[in-house]
Amino acid sequence: MAVLCEPVTEVPEYVVTMEETLALAADLYRDHAELRLVQRLITNTGVRKRHLIQPLRQVLRHPGFEERNALFVREAQSRLPGVVRRALAHAELDPDQVDLLIFVSCTGFGMPSLTAWMINALRMRPDTRQLPIAQLGCAGGGAAVNRAHDFCTAYPQANALVVSCEFCSLCYQPTDVGVGSLLSNGLFGDALAAVVVRGEGGRGMRLERNGSYVIPHTEDWISYAVRSTGFHFQLDRRVPGTMEPLAPVLRALTDRHGWTASDLDFYIVHAGGPRILDDLSRFLGVPSEAFRHSRATLTEYGNIASAVVLDALGRLFEEGSAAHTDKGLLAGFGPGITAEMSLGTWTEAA
C-alpha cells in the first residue's frame, strides 16, 4: 500500500517580517480608506515572517509578466534539484526509480512543464510519466498526494514524486488595492517542497483513502484575473467561513472509512489563515493543538500555497510524535472552493 514518505521543504534566503510588512503598507497605502483594517487583518494572520526569492525592493518592482515568469523558471531550475534529491534520499530511492513526476505550482507557467526539464536534469527515466498541476492553488499539494496515491494503487510497485514550487511574491501587483489583495501581500510567502509516495516499503503515512469536494457555486471566491501584467489574486471575504460546510465533508470521509474525524492521532491541513484552523478545530471537535504543525508553517513561512501541507507533514516527522498505526488526516483547500483529503495510518515499516 502507498506510503507518503518524509518531505523536504526549502525556503529562499530573503526574509520579510510582519513589522516590515505593516510599515510598508503604511508607507505605500497611507491614503487608503481601509488601511487600519488591512493592518489589523495582516496582524491577525500571525505570520511572523516570510521568505522571498529576491530582496523586497525588487519584489515591489513590476518589470512585466514576461520577466517575472522568466525569473520563476530560472529560480525553480536553480533551487529544485537539491530539494528533489533530498526527498528521494528520505525515501531511499534514486531518480531512475521514479515512475510518476507530479509538479505543482500556481505562481509560474511554462510549456513544456518543468517536469520535462527535471526528468532530463535529474536523470530520471525517459518513460517517467508527467502530471503538471497548475490551477488548484493551495489545494494543489493535497491533490498531488491524492493523484500519487491513485497511481500507486493502480501500479502497486511504482513510485511517485511530488514537487511543489510556489513563488507567491511574483504575483504581487502594486495597482491592486482591494482589502483582499492587500491582505494577501502580508500573508503569502515563497517555498519549494518535494515528497515521495512509495508503492512498496517506506516510512510515513500509509495512504488508505482519498476524496475531493467542491463547494457548489464558489468558483469565483478564490481566483486569478489573468491580465497583461500577470496573475492578479482575487479573494472573496466569504472564504474564511468555508470550514463550516467543509467540516461535514471531512467527517463523512472518515465515517466511510470507519474512523471518527474528531478522534484521530494527527492532522495535517492547509493553513490558509488562523480562522481556517480555528473553525476547523471547532467544527471537528478537536483541540487547537491538533493543528500545531500547520500553525507553525503559517507563523514561520506564511501561506506557501500548495507547499503548506508538505511542510506541515515534515514538521510531524521532525517532532517524532507519530507512532506505528496512528491514524491521520491530510487536507488541502483552495480555489473552487476545493477540498483534497487523504486518510492514512502511520507506518514505521522499512
Instruction: Encode pLDDT of 126-166 as tens digits.
Output: 999 999 999 999 999 999 999 999 999 999 999 999 999 99
Which residue do the cell numbers 505550482 mark? 105
pLDDT at 279 over 70: yes
Helix H or strand E segment including 248: helix 243-256
Sign of the C-alpha dihedral computed for residues 81, 300, 214 and 108 taken in this order = negative
| Contacts with 149 (C-beta within 8 Å, 6 or more apart), sequence order | 2, 4, 197, 207, 210, 342
Helix/strand/coil for 190: strand
Instruction: For residue 299, give the C-alpha cell.
Output: 507563523
Burial 122-143 (b: 16+ CB within 10 A, else e): bebeeebbbbbbeebbbbbbbb
Phi, psi values for residue 67, rounded to 5°:
-70, -35
Share of the chain above pLDDT 90, in %: 81
Per-residue pLDDT at 350: 57
Which one of 138, 152, 165, 168 is the catalytic residue? Answer: 138
Per-residue pLDDT at 117: 98
The Cα 25–Cα 16 span in angstroms is 13
Helix/strand/coil for 69: helix
Share of the chain above pLDDT 70, in %: 99
The Cα 344–Cα 112 span in angstroms is 33
Per-residue pLDDT at 189: 96
Please state whether beta strands 336-347 and 204-218 pair in parallel, antiparallel, or not at all (unpaired). antiparallel
User: What one-character-per-residue DSSP string does 28-40 give?
Assistant: HTTT-TTHHHHHH
Instruction: Encode pLDDT of 76-89 as tens digits.
Output: 999 999 999 999 99
Give the mean pLDDT of 93-101: 98
Instruction: For residue 229, give the C-alpha cell.
Output: 501584467
Residue 9 — left, alpha, or beta (φ > 0 → left; ψ -120 to 50 → alpha)?
beta
Q: Is 168 one of the catalytic residues?
A: no
Instruction: Encode pLDDT of 299-315 as tens digits.
Output: 999 999 999 999 999 99
Give the mean pLDDT of 197-209: 96
Residue pair 39/26 in contact (Cβ under 8 Å)? The answer is yes
User: What one-character-per-residue DSSP string does 314-325 give?
Assistant: HHHHHHT---TT
Quote the distance between the C-alpha of residue 115 and its chain's center: 18
SS3 content of the chain, % helix, strand, coil (to 5): 45, 25, 30
Q: What is the pTM of this model?
A: 0.95
Domains and CATH numbers, the chain: 3-198 (3.40.47.10), 204-347 (3.40.47.10)
Instruction: Encode pLDDT of 21-61 as tens digits.
Output: 999 888 888 888 888 998 998 899 889 999 999 999 899 98
User: What one-character-per-residue DSSP string does 115-181 give?
Assistant: HHHHHHHTT--TT-EEEEE-S-GGGHHHHHHHHHHHHHHHSTT-EEEEEEEEEGGGG--TT--SHHH
What value does the mean pLDDT of the chain take?
Answer: 94
Residue pair 329/269 in contact (Cβ under 8 Å)? The answer is yes
The Cα 14–Cα 194 span in angstroms is 21
